[in-house]
Amino acid sequence: MKGIELLLQRQSNPLVTSPAPDKQALEQILAAGMRVPDHACLKPWHFTVITDDGLQRLSDLFVASSDQQTANLEKIAKMPFRAPMVIVISSEFTQHEKVPTKEQLITAGCCAHAMQMAAYTLGFGAIWRTGELASNEQVKQGLGVNKEDEIIGFLYIGTPCKEQGLKASKSFEEKVTYWK
């Protein structure tokens, strides 16, 4: 698949199952995350790869960190099991006179996008999720994310459950202004 085709066909795939990427595929996915635009080479991100028993630990952390009603706790407990692998992308801000934290945050977001695209090229499905738990201080602490940093998202990766048809393309016309 050519690069432009990959970009034009990008879409999330929330319905995934085992197997997760193997060691070689995971290393390629992580390497793709390292190739993002990075002003001053600060590497303002961190990846936490969660599989196997780690999914239960993440589930326990989500439940313990939640203040939701009992009915929602069951749903929250199941969240990590939507995929056999979850990569948590978090920021690691560095003070720099030329690179504000906003730019570093965007760079970390580019990591999530690059890894999702890499997973797609390797035949895996993936979806990048955030939600309330991404900004929960207890979840951040449990995942080892510094108080001043942020969870960019949870990248759920696995083998697609079914062939997913290509969604209709979104038009860019109303989102573009041209200056000539």
pLDDT at 98 over 70: yes
- Does residue 46 sit within a domain? yes
How many structural domains compose the chain?
1
- Does residue 6 sit within a domain? no
Q: Give the pLDDT score at 156.
A: 99
Q: Which domain holds residue 71?
A: 13-175
- Does residue 7 sit within a domain? no
- Does residue 8 sit within a domain? no
Q: Give the pLDDT score at 70.
A: 59
CATH number at residue 144: 3.40.109.10
Q: What percent of the chain has pLDDT over 70?
A: 97
Are residues 142 and 65 in contact, defined by beta-carbon separation less than 8 angstroms? yes
- Does residue 180 sit within a domain? no
pLDDT at 107 over 90: yes
Tokens of 179: 């200056």
- Does residue 4 sit within a domain? no
pTM of the model: 0.94
What is the separation of C-alpha 157 from the centre of its chain, rounded to a whole number of angstroms? 9
Mean pLDDT of 71-78: 89
b/e code 42-81 from CB counts within 10 Å (16+ = b): bebbbbbbbbeeebeebbebbeebbeeeeeeeeebbebbe
pLDDT at 72 over 70: yes
What is the separation of C-alpha 14 from the centre of its chain, rounded to a whole number of angstroms? 12
- Does residue 5 sit within a domain? no
Q: Give the pLDDT score at 164.
A: 80
pLDDT bin (cut points 50, 70, 90) of residue 94 is very high
Q: What is the pLDDT of residues 10-69, one digit of tens each?
A: 899 999 999 999 999 999 999 999 999 999 999 999 999 999 999 999 999 999 999 866
